[in-house]
Amino acid sequence: MTEPLFIIPLWADLLGVALGGIQGAMFASGFQGERRLDWLGVAIIGIMIGMGGGLIRDLLIGQPPATLQSDWYLITAVGAALFGMLLAGVFNRINILIVVLDAVVIGMFGAFGVSKAVAFGIPPIPAVFIGACAAVGGGVLRDVLMGLPVAIMHVGSLYAVAAGVGCTAIMIMHAFGVGITLAAVIGIVLTAIIRVLAVVYDLSLPEQRRLYRRKVATETGMIPIIKP
């Protein structure tokens, strides 16, 4: 460990968990009819989105999962998920809010991931990789456990790209001596902007466009994040 240990402030970590939990609940509320989830399913998805990224981050760094060292993470994730479920009827009408929330959550998990990896002496490239995995890991866990096609592989590469760009920016700023807090904030904003722009302008890497269209068209019961 050549770097001073960077401790992510508990409030920031819990904020990420809470936003993730709300986002997970809003995602879960999009399932209607036969696939509708009960409150426990919503809570599980909230936990996965809120805490999954941090869990994967810590496994990759080789540290005990920080989200299980305190009672607050689970309380926050479950509380946020139930709160998100109750308000889903409202939030679902404000589609752009879900998109922005998702984008900010990705940015936060990515920033926390790369920062913690650097603090534990991981070299720059794997640190960015760990940040990207932390950013998208909760969504991957959710998709695998829900039996959904893993979004990251088929329609969501820009998801990973957004996180990767934000984490790379943090790494570069860190190398040039920018304080980790400022760098993290800039990285989060950068990731969120890329992700929101990608959704708004329907951007995707060349091969993905058709796939995405097809998904929106055929998977009824899913929330189409963008208007077709």
Assess 200 for contact with a copy of itself (CB under 8 A): no
Stretch that binds a copy of itself, among 9-17, 62-70, 90-98, 108-116 (CB under 8 A): 62-70
Please say which residue, 27 or 73, places its beta carbon nearer to a copy of itself: 73
CB of 72 to a copy of itself, least distance (A): 9
Among 12, 15, 146, 185, which residue sits at the site for a copy of itself (rule: CB under 8 A)? 146
SS3 annotation, the chain: CCCCCCCCCHHHHHHHHHHHHHHHHHHHCCCCHHHCCCHHHHHHHHHHHHHHHHHHHHHHHCCCCHHHCCHHHHHHHHHHHHHHHHCHHHHCCCHHHHHHHHHHHHHHHHHHHHHHHHHCCCCHHHHHHHHHHHHHHHHHHHHHHHCCCCHHHHCCHHHHHHHHHHHHHHHHHHHCCCCHHHHHHHHHHHHHHHHHHHHHCCCCCHHHHHHHHHHHHHCCCCCCCCCC
Contact call for residues 49 and 105 (beta carbons, < 8 A)? yes
Assess 125 for contact with a copy of itself (CB under 8 A): yes
Stretch that binds a copy of itself, among 3-11, 94-102, 143-151, 219-227 (CB under 8 A): 143-151
Among 7, 68, 200, 226, which residue sits at the site for a copy of itself (rule: CB under 8 A)? 68
Among 18, 20, 52, 73, which residue sits at the site for a copy of itself (rule: CB under 8 A)? 73
Assess 1 for contact with a copy of itself (CB under 8 A): no
Assess 207 for contact with a copy of itself (CB under 8 A): yes
User: What is the rounded CA–CA span in Å between residue 169 and residue 166?
Assistant: 5
Per-position x/- string for 99-118, each x denoting binding to a copy of itself as judged by CB under 8 A, each - no binding: ------------------x-
Please say which residue, 96 or 202, places its beta carbon nearer to a copy of itself: 202
Contact call for residues 159 and 136 (beta carbons, < 8 A)? yes
Among 14, 19, 74, 98, which residue sits at the site for a copy of itself (rule: CB under 8 A)? 74
The two structure tokens encoding residue 209: 């466009």
Task: Provide the binding-site residues for a copy of itself, judged by CB under 8 A.
Answer: 34-41, 44, 47, 55, 58-65, 67-71, 73-75, 117, 122-126, 129-130, 140, 144-147, 149-150, 152-154, 157, 160-161, 205-208, 210-211, 214
